[in-house]
Amino acid sequence: MEKVTSTTQRFSRKVGDAIQEGTDRSSHVHTKNLFDVQGRVALVTGGGSGIGLMATQALAMHGAKVYIVGRSQEKLDKVVETYGKTIPGEIIALNYDVSRKDQIDALYQDFSSREKCLCILINNAGIGSNTFETKASTPEEMKQNLFLSPNATFEEWTSVYQSLVPQLYFMTTAFLPLLAHSTERHLGYSGTVINIASASGMIKSAQHHFAYSTAKAATIHLSRLLSSEIADNGFKIRVNSISPGVFPSELTTGGSDDTQKSHLSKETFEGRIPAGRPGKDEDIASTILFCAANQYLNGQNVVIDGGYTLAAGM
């Protein structure tokens, strides 16, 4: 009986050792390692609501230290109060206007006094644009809608472009030294820039907002340019863009609730998007973690739109 028990124990140990060996060999593809941002330092512009807040939650809930930047101290403080407690990571508010170069420089000086590196930079801040009726029965009517409208001004185009495009360039180039230090402090990890573009910058329809769609197309191309030039210099910094489809935000709904969240009804989009619904927090969160953690992703535009670009046409 003792001999049988001893044999059984040896067999059990061998099985256990084999299982452990198999686990050890595959541990690198476990989700906790694939999308690990524990201890990373992130900065999110426009982190007070919408997609910026979704990104902030995704990173902070997985252990990252996230600085959120915006012009409204009240919104930023609300995010810290609502989402910054009892989480694995941390959320810290910084009140700056990233549409101004002097403010970006001041932000860099402030941030560099707090942190030795920046692992993840998410450029999300921006505004929408005026909308215009594009359907017309005559060329004269189309001119009336698009040219003679009092809302059609050079100033509006300039304002929208300045809000959405140059700040990506200046934020990224300002933080290059700290992004480069990420590799030094986190072995095997390259600093990453994630620019929030839009499916509006890809499809053939203007969707009634020419200035916004044009600026988002520029965002996608600028991300590619920055990625290329940084790579040519041999710096270990990745630059990618994300092009969301329809997601609830202050831009798409006109406001947010007392938790800084916006809402869109599923019914409105059931016949317009193959997915049959607008995007959710989880859709942005998983994409942010993918872009932040995947060290082989560089110079790409990741479209997360529920098939919207398929329906709208490119």
pLDDT in tens, 263-273: 777 777 787 88
Q: How many domains does the chain have?
A: 1
- State residue 187's pLDDT score: 84
Asked if the structure places residue 202 within a domain, the reply is yes
Identify the band that residue 10 occupies on the pLDDT scale cut at 50, 70 and 90.
low
> Using N-to-C axis directions, what is the helix angle for 166-174 and 176-185, rounded to 10°?
50
Asked if the structure places residue 96 within a domain, the reply is yes
Asked if the structure places residue 28 within a domain, the reply is no
Is the predicted pLDDT of residue 28 greater than 60, yes or no?
Answer: yes
Residue 250's CATH number: 3.40.50.720
Is the predicted pLDDT of residue 19 greater than 90, yes or no?
Answer: no
Q: Pick the more confident residue, 38 or 266.
A: 38
- State residue 232's pLDDT score: 98
Identify the band that residue 253 occupies on the pLDDT scale cut at 50, 70 and 90.
low
Chain mean pLDDT for the chain: 89
Asked if the structure places residue 170 within a domain, the reply is yes
What is the Cα–Cα distance from 130 to 138, expressed in whole angstroms?
22
- State residue 266's pLDDT score: 79
Q: Pick the more confident residue, 13 or 312.
A: 312
Asked if the structure places residue 7 within a domain, the reply is no
- Please, are residues 262 and 252 in contact by the beta-carbon 8 Å criterion? yes
Asked if the structure places residue 130 within a domain, the reply is yes
Is the predicted pLDDT of residue 70 greater than 80, yes or no?
Answer: yes
- State residue 272's pLDDT score: 85
One-letter amino acid for residue 33 of the chain: N
- State residue 67's pLDDT score: 99
Asked if the structure places residue 236 within a domain, the reply is yes
Asked if the structure places residue 31 within a domain, the reply is no
* Residue 262 CB contacts under 8 Å (≥ 6 apart), including other chains: 49, 50, 248, 249, 250, 252, 253, 255, 256
Instruction: Residue 106: give the domain boundaries.
Output: 37-312
